[in-house]
Amino acid sequence: MNSIEKQLKEFPYQLILGSNSPRRQELLKSLGFNFINKPIHADESFSEELYAEHIPLYLAEKKANAYQDILKEHELLITADTIVWCKEKVFNKPNNYLESKQMLENLSGQTHEVFTGVCLKSHKKQITFYDVSKVYFKALKSEEIDYYLTNFNPYDKAGGYGVQDWIGYIGIEKIEGSFYNVMGLPVKKLYEELMNF
């Protein structure tokens, strides 16, 4: 057993992921940590005065504070929130087909930022951090948007799209920063913060 295997196996906390997102579950599992998933249902409203990275940081903390159980000494809760930020405006999860279409039309041919805020909470302390990635979209054709929305139903994704979906394959010209952050979890930063917690 090498040192990394040993660190992961002997990690001193029982990780609890408070998320409904299958992408976050998949990414945390791929990092090599054992964890329990306990989705948190929290009100995701926020003040219009919040700007860019402050929105997902606030929401990640709000989700952590909505966790129902009392954290035991050996438990560490992870919550996260992702937003798309374009033209000084937040693009959250769309409610329906029309909202998704409007979002993708706005992102088409533009560069936008994806911010993910993460909160780590134990019974003794709580920290928050974020990562940002810049995404360059080509100009999307109307029929490409319609095909994507008809076949992939991206209504649980910020900005109305998944980078790992068909629209990401054909529409994203390049990404500056973490690809996994765009998926919903900045795994490099998360790994570092967990190891230092």
| CATH number of the domain bearing residue 153 | 3.90.950.10
pTM: 0.93
Q: Is residue 52 within 8 Å of residue 113, measured between CB atoms? A: yes
Q: What is the pLDDT of residue 1?
A: 64
The closest alpha carbon to 57, from 48, 43, 46, 69, belongs to 46
Q: φ and ψ at 77, to 5 degrees?
A: -90, 135
Q: What is the pLDDT of residue 175?
A: 98
User: What domain count does the chain have?
Assistant: 1
Domain holding 115, by residue range, is 3-196
**Does the annotation count 131 as an active-site position?**
no
Token pair for residue 22? 């299958």
Q: What is the pLDDT of residue 69?
A: 87
What is d(CA 14, CA 35) in angstroms, rounded to the nearest whole number? 6
pLDDT one digit per residue (tens) for the chain, 197 residues: 688 888 887 788 999 999 989 999 999 999 988 999 999 988 888 998 999 999 999 999 999 999 988 899 999 999 999 999 999 999 989 999 999 999 999 999 999 999 999 999 999 999 999 999 999 999 999 999 999 999 998 988 999 999 999 999 999 999 999 999 999 999 999 999 999 99
User: For the chain, what is the largest distance between any 2 Cα atoms, rounded to a whole number of angstroms?
Assistant: 53
Q: What is the pLDDT of residue 9?
A: 79
What is d(CA 20, CA 94) in angstroms, rounded to the nearest whole number? 16
* Active-site hit among 69, 81, 156, 165: 81
